[in-house]
Structure 1
Amino acid sequence: MASGIVNIRRDVDDKFYRYRMPLLTTKIEGKGNGIKTVIPNMADVARALSRPPAYPTKFFGCELGAQTSFDEKNERYIVNGAHDANRLRELLDGFIDKFVLCKSCKNPETELIILKQGRSEDIIRDCKACGERTGVDMRHKLTTFILKNPPVKVKKGKKKTGTGDAAAGVGGGGDSPDAEASPAENGEESDDELTKKIKAEAKDLNNETTLAKEDWSADTSPEAVKQRIKALEGGMSGVSLGGDDEGSDDDANSPYGQLGKWVEENRDSHEGDTKTFLVAVYKKAEDLGIEKKHKSVLVLAQALFTDDVLNEIPKYGPLFAKTVSSEKHQKALLGGVERLVGLSHPDLLPAVPKILMALYQLDLLEEEVVTQWGTHVSKKYTDKETSKKVRKASEPFLKWLEEADDDSDDDEE
């Protein structure tokens, strides 16, 4: 079964396009006259589009001339007959074009509105991006279903989807056929599949793993670490440490020095098995007794992230979800970002808004913490001039946070 995250507009070949959705998946069940196509993740796909999942399911039925059925309580959506996943994905593109994308700006940040004019009713796409209101083709059979099952207006919270721009948004309004708002609409955790996967994997970072049984785990002993430190004199290859409660900056034998060096030595040796590597990193920090220290987050950010940080944040997200547990930890993570883009890779300065958005999406940063950081220059992690440059670069993201707050306040009035 295929899985993954794709652009809502699949004709847009941009990995930083901010409107994303899960790739539609299918499962064939039954045989003979009872054969049917189940769409396991239809609820997630529809949530990304801010449309009731019954709408695209019914659209498939209209286009294929097939019966459809929905069990909203159990999130089970079915199209009768055996249908190829690629065919349904093409049809979903058609649904998005006809019932989601703004006709004017092609942005999916719309909501459906039913306008009554005398005895006639029209379905309008109200675009939150450009402000245009464009009608849908009322000749399509789905419009009859929508009019009989109109979207319910629910109170929206701030959304956390999209990584392409600093002022990222979501596809669509907040319409749903259910009376209850989705978690994302209540300002709670996003239902984005990547976020759920990262949080689930973070829970797996514990001692009860096969890691302890593997031969290479024995090399994490203090004796082995000391041997590696002696063999690699000269410090931590660009990983500088700020003052903290345990170990000095210049002491490679401090717990933080050992952790940073170990991560750098092993970072490129896990051959694609990222999860096992992250478990190993956490176990190493635990062996050193610093897995809960905020300074460990600073060290990990510096040792793990490179100039490919935007692709690395989702990969290493489970580890940071496990280790970032307080405001201090968040500030340490921001300190690591500050050093990464301010000292190690200054060419990444323009990407600061995207980096912050990616971390914010994974709930690694809270709005209050990142806003306070972005508006107060500090010499704690870099020199004052570098600190100013990084915070200046973060302004588009901070502006997005402020505007999103204003929108949320307007919705509550």
Structure 2
Amino acid sequence: MPVLLTKIEGKGNGIKTVLPNMSDVARSLSRPPTYPTKFFGCELGAQTSFDEKNDRYIVNGAHDAPKLRELLDVFIDKFVLCKACDNPETDLTITKTEEILRDCKACGERTGVDMRHKLTTFIIKNPPKNPKKSKVKKATADGATTPNGDADEDAGGDSDDELTLRIKAEAAELTADAAIAKEDWSADTSPEAVKARMKAVEASMASVSLAPAGGDDDSDEDGDSPFAHLGHWIEENREESAVEIYKKAEEFGIAKKHNTMTIIAQTLFTENVLTEIPKYAPLFAKMVTSEKHQKSLLGGLERLVGVLHPDLTPAIPKILMAFYQTDILEEEVITQWGTHVSKKYVDREISKKVRKASEPFLKWLEEADDSEEED
């Protein structure tokens, strides 16, 4: 989370404190910027004002930055951190009885907030928006088309809420010894084919497996790392279930590290990725717990379609849609990824090519946003 900044404007009775980077702070907390701003007003007994269109959030009166940062910590404790595991990766949900809950992406617990606080009234009157679910419903209702123009085969089927509950239920099973049904793999698993594929994988994943980003370095001088070992194991044990893959990642001590998602994405999937994603959705729902995890997953998908299976490049919009509809990849992360070419996972030209191919899906996200604003 960026450090909260303040700026005092005006004089006398018109003096006010402007919060220039409140949007960035709130985004990192997965909360609307109006919530912490209003919280400041409640705690300080001051009037607040918002101009979301111009990204301007104000608390009346002169308030120094250290004081507001202390109050921000209080807000995080009361309305962000999971009460069960203290993880900040939570979403606010409002029940039919107008109770506000924190839905934790890490442990799965749903814990309530202190409904006696004045901010709860504001939250209930201004509920957090969840454009992802509404957009998925819009896109899939009445046989609407996907970014590639294909009609949704599941229109009229399970609602998005039911899908989310099913994914979470299946993800929870990963902690037990429940087995996920095995299926036949069309990829050639002969020793020669595996060796050839791993040669390509090793060349393409060297930057992550041998020197994980963000200082998360588990490699040794010989370029040996748990990430490379996991990649080899997945390639050589494709018949194993999602449960076993998760256990193996735990065994290597990298189940919670974001770089693991890059390795899994590029070694687990084959040219049949679109039919494989639903099977392994619970695995990704359990392991992808932060923005870093999502970015690493996108990096793995870049390698999958850009290096290992170039013929899949035109299918990248459908691949992104599959991860988006199962709440594994978020709109903001996909949009940022799609508009910033990077050579972190593949060379720059391949990165451009993959993002160019993803434009139909990015355009669909943008149009869905515009449609919501008009509504």
TM-score (norm. length: structure 2): 0.52
Residues 406, 343 of structure 1: alpha-carbon distance in 2 compared, 3 angstrom cutoff: same
Separation (CA, whole Å) in 2 of partners of 1:296 and 1:256: 6
Q: Does the 8 Å CA contact 2:148/2:318 hold for their aligned counterparts?
A: no
Q: CA deviation at 1:167?
A: 6.5
Separation (CA, whole Å) in 2 of partners of 1:341 and 1:396: 16
Q: 1:348 aligns with which of 305, 309, 312?
A: 312
1:155-170 correspondence runs (5 A): 158-160=134-136, 162=140, 165-166=146-147
Separation (CA, whole Å) in 2 of partners of 1:343 and 1:236: 12
1:87-166 correspondence runs (5 A): 158-160=134-136, 162=140, 165-166=146-147
Is residue 167 of structure 2 the alignment partner of residue 205 of structure 1? no
1:315-354 correspondence runs (5 A): 315-354=279-318
Separation (CA, whole Å) in 2 of partners of 1:319 and 1:258: 19
1:290-329 correspondence runs (5 A): 290-329=254-293
Residues 166, 192 of structure 1: alpha-carbon distance in 2 compared, 3 angstrom cutoff: farther
Q: CA deviation at 1:159?
A: 2.6
Q: 1:247 aligns with which of 206, 215, 218?
A: 218
Residues 353, 249 of structure 1: alpha-carbon distance in 2 compared, 3 angstrom cutoff: farther
1:35-50 correspondence runs (5 A): none
Q: CA deviation at 1:380?
A: 0.1
Q: CA deviation at 1:237?
A: 4.1
Separation (CA, whole Å) in 2 of partners of 1:345 and 1:249: 29
1:178-189 correspondence runs (5 A): none
Range with greater deviation from structure 2 (330-339 or 246-255): 246-255
Residues 207-242 of structure 1: CA deviation (Å, up to 9, x unaligned): x4268xxxxxxxxxxxxxxxxxxxx98893432242
Q: Does the 8 Å CA contact 1:167/1:400 hold for their aligned counterparts?
A: no
SS of the aligned residue for 2:198 comes to coil
SS of the aligned residue for 2:161 comes to coil
1:249-398 correspondence runs (5 A): 253-267=224-238, 269-270=239-240, 277-398=241-362
Q: CA deviation at 1:372?
A: 0.5
Q: Does the 8 Å CA contact 1:350/1:393 hold for their aligned counterparts?
A: yes
RMSD: 3.4
SS of the aligned residue for 2:136 comes to coil
SS of the aligned residue for 1:236 comes to helix
Match of 1:405 in 2: 369
Q: CA deviation at 1:203?
A: 1.1
Q: CA deviation at 1:156?
A: 9.8
**Gaps (5+ residues) in structure 2?**
1-95, 97-128, 180-193
Q: Does the 8 Å CA contact 1:371/1:398 hold for their aligned counterparts?
A: yes
Match of 2:46 in 1: none
Residues 339, 170 of structure 1: alpha-carbon distance in 2 compared, 3 angstrom cutoff: closer
Separation (CA, whole Å) in 1 of partners of 2:324 and 2:251: 29
Match of 1:20 in 2: none
Question: Structure 1 counterpart of 2:308, which letter?
Answer: S
**Gaps (5+ residues) in structure 1?**
1-72, 74-154, 175-182, 185-189, 212-231, 271-276
Separation (CA, whole Å) in 1 of partners of 2:350 and 2:327: 26
Separation (CA, whole Å) in 2 of partners of 1:356 and 1:386: 17
Q: CA deviation at 1:247?
A: 3.4
SS of the aligned residue for 2:174 comes to coil
Residues 372-397 of structure 1: CA deviation (Å, up to 9, x unaligned): 00000000000000000000001000
Q: CA deviation at 1:250?
A: 9.0
Q: 2:161 aligns with which of 191, 198, 205?
A: 191
Question: Structure 1 counterpart of 2:147, which letter?
Answer: A
Q: CA deviation at 1:199?
A: 2.2
Q: CA deviation at 1:192?
A: 4.7
Aligned length: 216
Q: CA deviation at 1:264?
A: 1.3
Separation (CA, whole Å) in 1 of partners of 2:317 and 2:337: 13
Q: Does the 8 Å CA contact 1:159/1:170 hold for their aligned counterparts?
A: no
Match of 2:101 in 1: none
Match of 1:238 in 2: 200
Residues 246, 164 of structure 1: alpha-carbon distance in 2 compared, 3 angstrom cutoff: farther
Residues 59-104 of structure 1: CA deviation (Å, up to 9, x unaligned): xxxxxxxxxxxxxx9xxxxxxxxxxxxxxxxxxxxxxxxxxxxxxx
Range with greater deviation from structure 2 (280-289 or 239-248): 239-248
Separation (CA, whole Å) in 2 of partners of 1:233 and 1:170: 38
Match of 2:80 in 1: none
Q: CA deviation at 1:368?
A: 0.7
Residues 279-315 of structure 1: CA deviation (Å, up to 9, x unaligned): 1111111111111000111111011111111111111
Q: CA deviation at 1:265?
A: 1.3
Q: CA deviation at 1:253?
A: 3.9
Q: Does the 8 Å CA contact 2:219/2:226 hold for their aligned counterparts?
A: no
Separation (CA, whole Å) in 1 of partners of 2:221 and 2:197: 8
Residues 397, 364 of structure 1: alpha-carbon distance in 2 compared, 3 angstrom cutoff: same
Q: Which has the higher helix share?
A: 2
